[in-house]
Structure 1
Amino acid sequence: MKVQRLANQTKQSRRTFLRTTLAATGALGIWGPAAWARVAEDEGQATLRVNAERLWAHLEQLAMFGRGPGGTSRVAYSEADRQGRAQVIAWMRAAGLEVEIDAAANIIGRRPGREPDRPPLVMGSHIDTVPNGGNYDGTVGSLSAIEVAQTLREQGVTLRHPLEVVIFQNEEGGLIGSRAWIGELPPEELNHVSHSGKTIREGIRFLGGDPDRLDEVVRRPGDIAAYLELHIEQGPVLYEEQVDIGVVEGIVGIRWWRVTWEGMANHAGTTPMNRRRDALLAAARFIQAVNRVVTSEPGRQVGTVGQIEAHPGAPNVIPGRVVCSLELRDLDDARIQRLYAAIEAEARAIARDSGVSVRFEPINVNKPAPTDPRVRDVIEASARALGLSAKRMPSGAGHDAQDMARLGPTGMIFIPSVDGISHSPKEYSRPEDVANGANVLLHALLRLDEAPWVR
C-alpha cells in the first residue's frame, strides 16, 4: 500500500510539475506539440479510442436520408434534412447528451463538466449537403463529435469543461447557423430563398427554430473555451501526399456578388451585329476577365463565376439581361478586395465597349479566419501521439469554424478525400481515415480540456 501510495504521489507531482511548466512556458509561447504528448501519457488517456465500426455504420445510415440516383440531396430545410436531423438527435441522446434545438435551428447536445462554471468546449459541423452531393462533407465531423462524446461516456471520462456538440444548420447555404451565433445573420437575409424552395425564415421554422428570437442565440467572444471541427479536406493534397491528418492554418475568406448586365433584347434575325447591345456577350467577356485578373498574380486566391442566367432565354432573341455570380476566396481579405476592385474596373470597361450597363450587388461575406496557433499545436501533438503523419495547410473551403474563431480559440482537423473529390456523388473518405480523424478529435479535446491557457 505504501509503495502504491508513493507511486500515486510521484505521478501526481509529475502532473503538477508538467502543468506548471506548461503554464509558464505557454505564457511565453515557447511550448509545442511534444509537451502535449507527455501530458496525455501522464493523464493515462493515451489508449482511448473511438468505436470506429459504430462511427462508420452511423455514416452509412445517415447517407440514406436524401439519397437518390444522382447523389445525396439532403439540402437544408428539405424533408430529408429534417429526417436526418431526427436521426442525429437520437444518436446524441444515446451518447448521453442533453439535446435542444436553439432559435436558429442549430442542434446542441450538452454534457456537464467537473467545473460547471467554465465555458464549454465545443465541437461539431453540419449534415446538410449540396444538391446531388456526397456523404462525408460535414457529416464526418458531426458524427465524429457525437462518437467522441459517446466514447467519453462509455469510458467514464468527465472533462473539466462542460462539453457541447453542435450541428449547425444550412452550412452549405452560407454558414447560416454559425453566423446566427455570432450575430451576423441580418433580418433581410432571412427572406432569401434556399435550395429547398423555402426562405431561410421558413426553413428555420421548419426545423424547429424561431427566426423571431435569433438574438437569444448570439454568443460573445469568451463564451466558449475552444472549438474543434473535423472535416474532409475536399481537395487532393493529403490523399496525393499520403498524409494522415491536415492541421488547418486558416479558413479562406469568401465573398459573393450578384452581377447584373442590362442590354437590349431584340430580334436575333433582323438586328445587325454592329447594332446589338448583347448582355450575354458582355457577361462572357466578364467571365474571361475574372480568370485573367485572378491568375495575374501568384498566390492561392481563386475566383469563380458559377451561375449565369440569360433573359428572355429564347434562341431567336438577343439576351437583354444577364445575371451571373462572382465568388472570390483567399486567406487575405485585403487581396480579395484588391482583386474585386480590378475585376469591377474591367467589368465597367466591358460594359462601355458593349453598350450595356453593369451592377454589382454584394450578397455574402465570410471573412478569413486564421486558426489559433496553440490549437494547431494540440492537434498536431494528438496526431503524432497516435502515430499519424500531419501536415499544416490552409482550407480553401468555408466552414462554420471561421465564425467560431470569432468566439474563442479554434482549430480544424482534415482527413484525406480520395482523389480530392467533394460536392459530388463520388466524394469518399476511407474508413481508416475517418477513424484516424475521430481519434485525433478525441485526443485534441482531452488536451484542450487540460491546457493551461484554455479558460
Structure 2
Amino acid sequence: MKPILTLLAILLALSALCAQQYPEINEQRLQQTLDSLATFGRDNQDRPNRVAFSDGDLQGREYVISLMEAAGLEVRIDAAANIIGTRAGRNPELKPLALGSHIDMVPLGGNFDGCVGSMGAIEVARTLNDRGVLTRHPLEFIIFSNEEGGVMGSRAMAGKLSEDALRVRNSTGYSMAGGIQRLGGDTLTLESAQRPKGAFSGFLELHIEQGAILDRRDLDIGVVTGIVGLNWWDVTFQGMANHAGTTPMNLRKDALLAAARFVQAVNEEALKMEGSQVATVGRIEAQPGAPNVIPGEVKLSLEIRDLSAEVIQSLYRNIQMRAQDISSDSGVQINFEALDTTGIPALTDPDIQQTIEEAAQELGLSTLRMPSGAGHDAQDIAIIAPVGMIFVPSRGGISHSPDEYTSPEDFANGTQVLLNALLDLDSSLE
C-alpha cells in the first residue's frame, strides 16, 4: 500500500504545483482602478462622458499611464496616440504577446465598455510585477486611442486608417487628425504606428458582452468566435415636394412614404435569410420637414452586420432589388452611397479560443462560445495577428449607457481568465 500512497502523494503535490502556477489578481485593487478611472470625464450632471480627445480623455490617459509605469512597464505613445506599455520577456527573439482595449466612450456612455479590458490588462501587468513573474515572450499592454469614434488607434496599427477618416470630427469638435495631435501622437509620422503582419504572437482583449446572452443564461465567460463586419450606406430618396392640401394622393411623389416602405423592406429581407445577420435603419431625415408640405427628399442610414462579408453583400443586393421595386411603384429615385466600412469580419484564432475556454473551465467558470455583434479593437488587430476575446456579462445587456454595469465578481473572473490564458499562450506559442 505504501508505494501506492507515495505515488498518490506525488500526484497530489504535482497537481497542487500546477494549480499554483497562476498568480491571483487583486480583485479589490482591480475594482478600485475601474472606479478611479470613472471619475475622469463627467458632464455637469455627473454622468460619464469621456469622449475621445476631450479633457476627460486626456486626464484618464494620464491616470492610465501612471498605473502602467507603477506596474514596471516602459510606456510610450505611438504616432496614432495609442498608449503602449512594454515588458521584457526571457526570450527577446520571440514576437510579443499583446493585450488591451480602450478607455474612451460614446457621449453619455458607460464606465465598463473598453474600460474593463484596459484595467484588466493593467491588473495583469501589476500582478506579474508583484509576483516577479517573467514570461518567455515580451509583452505589450495597449490602450488604443479613439475606439468609439472609428477604432482609430487599432486601425492605424493595422495600416487601415484612411485619409478620409482623419478628417472626420467627433462631438468634441476635433477631427481625428487634430485629436491624434492633442493626445500626443503625430500625424506626420502616422505610418510609424503601423505594425507588419506577424508583429504579435497573439492578442487578447477582455470586454463586456454588450448583449444579454451571458446575463440571461447566468454564464460566466463568453469565448468569442468572431467579430462581425459591418457596412454603412447613406440612402437618398428624391421625390417632389408639393402642397399637402392641394396635391391629390395618386399624383404624389412622397419621398418619406417610399422611405417608410424601404425601412420595412430592410427588416423583411434580413429576416428572410438564414443566419444571424442584422440590418438596421437608425437615422432618417425628411425635407423640407413642414407639416403642410409633402416630403421631397429623405436621407437615411443603412447598416448591415454579419460574420461573413459575402452574407453582407448578398443581403445588400436583396435590399437594392427591393429598392428598385419601390422606386418603380412610387416614382421616387433611390440612390445608395457606400460609406467607409468601420469593420471587416474577423474570426478569432481557434487555438486561442480553446486556450481561453480551458483557462475559464479550470477556474470552475461556465463558458459559451459566441460571436460578437459589436466591433472592437481586436477586429483590426486580427489583420496582423491571431486574436482572442473574452466576454464577461453586462447586466441586462445594457451598453453605451450610464446604466451599463458589470459586477466586481464578473470583472475579476474575466481578468483572471485573461491572465491565465496569457500565461498558457506564453508557454505554448513560439
Report the TM range for the smaller structure's normalisation.
over 0.9
2:294 counterpart residue number: 318
Partners of 1:345 and 1:97 in 2: CA distance: 55
| Matches for 1:51-200 after TM superposition, within 5 Å | 51-68=26-43, 69=45, 71-200=47-176
User: 1:315 and 1:71 mapped to 2: Cα distance?
Assistant: 36
What does residue 412 of structure 2 align with?
Answer: 435
Q: Which residue of 2 aligns with 1:346?
A: 322
- When normalised by structure 1's length, the TM-score is 0.87
- Correspondence list, 1:27-426, <5 A: 42=18, 44-46=20-22, 48-68=23-43, 69=45, 71-365=47-341, 366-426=343-403
Q: Which moved more, 1:226-235 or 1:74-83?
A: 74-83
SS of equivalent residue, structure 1 residue 54: helix
Distance 2:47 2:329 in 1: 43
Q: Secondary structure at the match of 1:364?
A: coil
| 1:80-109 CA-partner distances (Å, limit 9, x unpaired) | 222222221121112111111111111111
SS at match of 1:289: helix
Residue deviations 1:190-247, cap 9 Å, x none? 1122233222222212212122322111112111110000001111111111111111
User: Which whole-Å CA distance do the structure 1 matches of 2:46 and 2:266 have between them?
Assistant: 30
Deviates more, 1:83-92 or 1:221-230: 83-92
Letter of the 1:215 counterpart: E
Secondary structure of 2:206's counterpart equals strand
Alpha-carbon distance, 1:51 to partner: 1.2
CA distance in 1, matches of 2:322, 2:188: 42
Output the CA distance in 2 between the equivalents of 1:389 and 1:98. 36
8 Å contact kept, 1:70–1:425: no
Q: What are the ranges of 5 or more consecutive residues in structure 2 without an aligned counterpart? A: 1-9
Separation in 1 of the partners of 2:290 and 2:36? 44
The CA distance in 1 between the partners of 2:292 and 2:81, in whole Å, is 47
Q: Deviations over 1:330-372 (max 9, x none)?
A: 1122111100111112122222322222222222322211111
Rounded Cα–Cα distance in structure 1 between residues aligned with 2:294 and 2:66: 55
CA distance in 2 between counterparts of 1:269 and 1:79 reads 52
Match of 2:7 in 1: none
Counterpart Cα distance in 1 of 2:269 and 2:50 = 35
Residues 72, 314 of structure 1: alpha-carbon distance in 2 compared, 3 angstrom cutoff: farther
CA shift, 1:150, in A, is: 0.8
Cα drift, residue 266 of structure 1: 3.2
Deviates more, 1:103-112 or 1:227-236: 103-112
Please tell me the residue identity of whatever aligns with 1:63: A
- Give the Cα separation in 1 of the matches to 2:335 and 2:236: 5
Contact 1:253 1:367 survives alignment (8 Å):
yes
CA distance in 2, matches of 1:383, 1:210: 40
CA-based RMSD: 2.1
Which amino acid is 1:107 matched to? I
Displacement of 1:179 after TM fit?
1.0
The 3-state SS of whatever aligns with 2:340 is strand
User: Residues of 2 paired with 1:251 and 1:342: CA distance?
Assistant: 23
Decide whether aligned partners of structure 1 residues 70 and 286 sit closer, same or farther in structure 2, where only a CA change above 3 A counts.
farther
Give the CA deviation at 1:314: 3.1
**In 2, Cα distance between equivalents of 1:270 and 1:105:** 58
Q: Distance in 2 between matches of 1:356 and 1:371?
A: 43
Asked whether the equivalents of residues 306 and 326 of structure 1 are also in contact (C-alpha less than 8 Å), the reply is: yes
% same residue = 57
- Normalised by the length of structure 2, the TM-score is 0.92
Q: Deviations over 1:167-196 (max 9, x none)?
A: 111212222211111111111221122233
- Cα separation, 2, equivalents of 1:348 and 1:79: 47
* Ranges in structure 1 where 5+ consecutive residues have no aligned partner: 1-9, 16-37
* Mean Cα deviation higher: 352-361 or 145-154: 352-361
One-letter identity of the residue aligned with 1:110 = T
Letter in 1 for 2:392: I
The count of residues paired between Structure 1 and Structure 2 equals: 418
Query: Quick one: structure 1 residues 210 and 251, their matched pair in 2 at CA, closer, same or farther if it must change by over 3 Å?
Result: same
